Amino acid sequence: MNPEANAAPENMTATPARTVTQMQTFYWSVRRELWEYRSVYVAPLAVAAVYLVAFLISSSIRLPNQMRAALADADKMKHLVVSYEFGAAAILLAAMIVQLYYCLDSLQSERRDRSILFWKSMPVSDAMTVLSKAAIPFAVLPAVGFCIVLATGLAMILWSSVVLLVHGLSPAPLFTQLSLFDNALGLLNHMLTVHILWYAPLYAWLMFVSAWSKRAALLWAVLPWFAVGIFEKIVFNTSYFAHWIQMRFVGGMNDSASTGTMGTGGESHEMAWQFWTTPGLWLGLAVAVCLLAATVRIRRSREAN
């Protein structure tokens, strides 16, 4: 069997290569991530669905009485919106958990199953790969969270209106109390400031660890911080570091909480200004950029496990 004998001399013109833009590559790379990690949208959707069913049942029973109580006592108006805040928190928590899990797994799984050898045979640069993976925690999940929270809120308010109307009550106070448009804006602001900008170094750190560690990414991601805290406690008997970590985690929520889901203009301007001028925010973003750059470098030289 001589290979030359099998040559096809009549067909020597190469098929011209299509042009694939960077944008197309990015789009398909992100789609690829969504194929692999369906939990990105399934988990928040599932939480929203469960919450919605629970709300449908409970509001059918309790809402008319709550409304009557609120109409009698204006202070009780607040109770009407609690379930909306709670629902939003549950959905965003689910999104957050998926985010952390995704970041830790995204660059390790391809080495675990050796598929990195397939991905590297594609004309996609390491920077593009890391960027498309980073798009999930930095853009896709916050957007998914925002849309699902909004949709769930709308479904809840529609159902509530139906229930109230059936009981001969006006749903108008509910709309006033919820001030839909302001809340949507507040939620958008909350996603952008807290979930994207403030936690950026957290996502970047987890992705860095995911690319760097051979296994047990979770341990590598968490233990060094514990070690530093314990070291400080033993040597200096202080806990500035632990305090700082805590501030970084919870602080973001507090810093922009008033501009967050329930913020309604007015005093929030001052808070917003405070948030944007926190050095911690900009320092964190700089750290995130450095970590992502390091992740690209590591992705380039890492081989399969």
Partner 1 sequence: MACIEARGVRKAYGATRALDGVDLRLEEGRILGLIGPNGAGKTTALNAILGLTPYQGELKVLGRDPWTERDKLMREVSFIADVAVLPRWIRVWQVLDLLQGIHPRFDRAKAEGFLAKTTIQRKSKVRELSKGMVAQLHLALVMAIDAKLLVLDEPTLGLDILYRKQFYDSLLNDYFDGRRTIVVTTHQVEEIQDVLTDLMFIHEGRILLSCSMEELTERYAEVLVRPEQIGAARALKPMHERQLFGQSILMFDRVERKQLATFGEVRTPSIADLFVAVMGTAGQGGAR
Q: Which is nearer to partner 1, 3 or 168 (CB)?
A: 3
61 contributes a contact to partner 1 by CB under 8 A: no
Taking CB under 8 A as the criterion, the residue among 23, 72, 75, 123 binding partner 1 is 123
Among 41, 60, 94, 120, contact with partner 1 (rule: CB under 8 A): 120
Q: Give the CA angle between residues 275, 278, 281 to the nearest 5°.
A: 90
Contact 217, 302 (CB under 8 A): no
**Whole-number minimum distance, CB 36 to partner 1, in Å?**
6
Smallest separation (angstroms) from partner 1 to the CB of 131: 13
Q: What is the Cα–Cα distance from 206 to 137, expressed in whole angstroms?
A: 11
Own/partner long-range contacts of 134-139 (Cβ < 8 Å, ≥24 apart) = 134/203, 134/204, 134/207, 134/292, 135/26, 135/30, 135/33, 136/30, 136/33, 136/34, 136/37, 136/40, 136/99, 136/102, 136/106, 137/99, 137/102, 137/103, 137/203, 137/207, 138/196, 138/200, 138/203, 139/196
Instruction: With contacts defined by CB under 8 A, name the span among 23-31, 64-72, 192-200, 286-294 that binds partner 1.
Output: 23-31
Kindly tell me which of 7 and 289 has the beta carbon lying closer to partner 1: 7
Inter-axis angle of helices 141-166 and 79-106, nearest 10: 160
Whole-angstrom Cα distance, residue 100 to residue 97? 5
Nearer to partner 1, 24 or 65 (CB): 24
Smallest separation (angstroms) from partner 1 to the CB of 109: 9
Interface residue with partner 1, options 49, 89, 117, 227 (CB under 8 A): 117
CA triple 119-125-129, angle to 5 deg: 65
Which residue, 135, 140, 132, 129, is CA-closest to 41?
Answer: 140
Q: Residues 171-210 vs partner 1: string with x where CB under 8 A?
A: ----------------------------------------
> Is 102 exposed, middle or buried, given 0-12, 13-18 or 19+ CB atoms closer than 10 A?
buried
Site map 124..163 versus partner 1, x via CB under 8 A: xxx-x-----------------------------------
3-state secondary structure 220-231: HHHHHHHHHHHH
Q: Does 114 participate in binding partner 1 (rule CB under 8 A)? A: yes
CB 100 to partner 1: min, Å = 20
- Site map (CB under 8 A) of partner 1, residues 270-299, x = contact: ------------------------------
Selected from 43, 84, 92, 110, the binder of partner 1 by CB under 8 A is 110
Nearer to partner 1, 60 or 109 (CB): 109
Q: State the minimum distance, in angstroms, from the CB of residue 213 to partner 1.
A: 19
Enumerate binding residues for partner 1 (CB under 8 A).
1-4, 6-9, 11-12, 14-15, 17-20, 24-25, 27-29, 31-32, 35-36, 110, 113-126, 128, 300-301, 303-304
